[in-house]
Amino acid sequence: MTPLADVRIIAIEQYGAGPFGSVHLADLGAEVIKIEDPSTGGDIGRYVVPEQHGEDSLFFETFNRNKRSLSLDISTPEGRAVFEDLVKVSDVVHSNLRGDVPAKLRIRYDDLKHLNPAIVCSSLSGFGMTGPRSAEPGYDYVLQGMAGWMDITGEPGGPPTKSGLSLVDYSGGLVAAASILAALHAARRDGIGADCDISLFDTAISMLTYPAAWQLNGDFEPKRTHHSAHPSLVPFQAFPTGDGWLVVACPKEKFFRRLAEVVGHPEWPDDPRYQDFAARRENSEALLAELEAVFATNTSEHWLGLLRVAGVPCGPVNSVAQALRDPHTIARGMVVETEHPYFGTVRQVASPLRVGSEEGRYRRAPRRDEDADYVLTKVLGYDADRIARLRSVRPEEER
């Protein structure tokens, strides 16, 4: 049995952040039933290009494997009735809508506890359900700017730069997943559910971590660093080599001693300019210039071979294609396959969550409303007459 085989989640989700959180729970065995609004064509992620066809896309596949789909407009009396029946037999209602929308849709804990006192209601929004921006939409790119990330990313003197990935969205999804599991544990212990009011803004601010503490408690001003250098540890950054780039990290004194041996300067650890963290930070310009000159004399493969043998933390600066072909990526089972009726065999990255020794199982993302019969008959136990009545009130395009 998978770790979350006894968990059922109703997911009113779209795009990336919300689905990224719930896909990991689905990969761990939770039954995730996506509620897709027929008036909007379902999850907007179905229509993201490139590699998009009809109501399917590889973007959607990435965030929605192992889930089920039910087309349902919960703003109508008929749709609301089905939704409320689902709440009675589920553990979690998970949404990623604007912060003021859960109240309007009546999907908060206070709105649903009369149906199921142990229901967990997770809202992942841009700015949360409270505060002056709660009614505003929030997207990853905007939040990377607002939270100060772009101000400290990129080369000194260059323009503000976002991460190459939607890290606020993905981090927010994982925060929501962790909150759901904590609230679910408490609900099963105490019989009482709760709201999980998660915001992408809070997530992005919280990830400022120690630079925030330095700024809040002193005169430290976080700023961009040359070659993506660590703000305080030296050396800890990317270096150009004779044919590419590599990253070297020395977060412990022993690593610096080993690095000095590898690059032919065993005297460096005894040099007062480089003898400890503080000295190397004070004299970083001189030390980094010497290291850059050394690394430029040979290939990345040459230096990485020597550094790995010496036990110095290091790695190549890979392209995405190179990262996906890395032997360790393959050995860890991080590329998995599903079968799709249009795209054929779809290869995608696996969830990094590991529980026990059993390998994860992956099923393609659902077509829109693909699981209506399963949900209405197996989950809710509706008879044929009730199902027929429900289908008779659906919009023509949904029949």
**Same-domain status, 235 and 173:** no
pLDDT at 358: 81
Catalytic residue among 230, 265, 302, 340: 230
10 Å Cβ neighbour count for 104? 10
> Are 77 and 390 in contact, with CB atoms under 8 Å apart?
no
Residue 270 reports pLDDT greater than 60? yes
**Same-domain status, 188 and 306:** no
Q: Of 12, 100, 26, 17, which is closest to residue 353 (Cα–Cα)?
A: 26
**Same-domain status, 97 and 170:** yes
Domain that holds residue 290: 226-317
Map tokens 């030296």 to a residue. 234
Q: How confident is the model at residue 203 (pLDDT cuts 50, 70, 90)?
A: very high
Query: Three-state DSSP class for 221?
Result: coil
pLDDT at 160: 96
pLDDT at 394: 65
Query: What is the distance in angstroms between the CA of the first residue and the CA of the last residue of the chain?
Result: 36
Whether residue 1 lies inside any domain: the answer is no
User: How many residues does the structure list for the chain?
Assistant: 399
Counting the structural domains of the chain, the total is 2
Query: Three-state DSSP class for 88?
Result: helix
Residue 177 reports pLDDT greater than 90? yes
Average pLDDT on 251-257 reads: 97
Whether residue 325 lies inside any domain: the answer is no
Whether residue 344 lies inside any domain: the answer is no
Whether residue 217 lies inside any domain: the answer is no
Of the candidates 293, 317, 341, which is a domain's last residue? 317
The CATH code of the domain that includes 289 is: 3.30.1540.10
Residue 397 reports pLDDT greater than 90? no
The CATH code of the domain that includes 123 is: 3.40.50.10540
What's the rounded Cα separation, in Å, for the pair 117 and 127? 27
Whether residue 2 lies inside any domain: the answer is no
**Same-domain status, 78 and 47:** yes
> Are 373 and 70 in contact, with CB atoms under 8 Å apart?
no
Fill in the amino acid letter for 137: P
Of the candidates 317, 347, 364, which is a domain's last residue? 317
Q: Of 369, 379, 332, 330, which is closest to residue 354 (Cα–Cα)?
A: 332
Q: In the chain, at which residue ranges do the beta strands (DSSP E only) sit?
A: 8-12, 31-36, 52-53, 56-57, 67-71, 92-95, 120-125, 194-199, 236-240, 245-249, 314-316, 335-340, 344-349
**Same-domain status, 84 and 18:** yes
pLDDT at 398: 52
Q: How confident is the model at residue 393 (pLDDT cuts 50, 70, 90)?
A: confident
**Same-domain status, 282 and 174:** no
Q: Of 313, 316, 341, 338, which is closest to residue 326 (Cα–Cα)?
A: 316
What's the rounded Cα separation, in Å, for the pair 280 and 364? 51
Written as six digits, the tokens of 224 are 């961009």
Of the candidates 295, 317, 339, which is a domain's last residue? 317
Whether residue 271 lies inside any domain: the answer is yes
pLDDT at 399: 42
**Same-domain status, 70 and 188:** yes
Average pLDDT on 104-113 reads: 98
Range of lowest pLDDT (214-223, 278-287, 373-382): 214-223
**Same-domain status, 153 and 44:** yes
Q: What is the pTM of this model?
A: 0.93
Residue 230 is a catalytic residue: yes
**Same-domain status, 138 and 260:** no
Whether residue 324 lies inside any domain: the answer is no
**Same-domain status, 285 and 138:** no
10 Å Cβ neighbour count for 77? 8
Whether residue 276 lies inside any domain: the answer is yes
**Same-domain status, 200 and 143:** yes
pLDDT at 56: 95
> Are 13 and 167 in contact, with CB atoms under 8 Å apart?
no
Residue 368 reports pLDDT greater than 80? yes
**Same-domain status, 69 and 106:** yes
Residue 396 reports pLDDT greater than 60? no
Mean pLDDT of the chain: 96
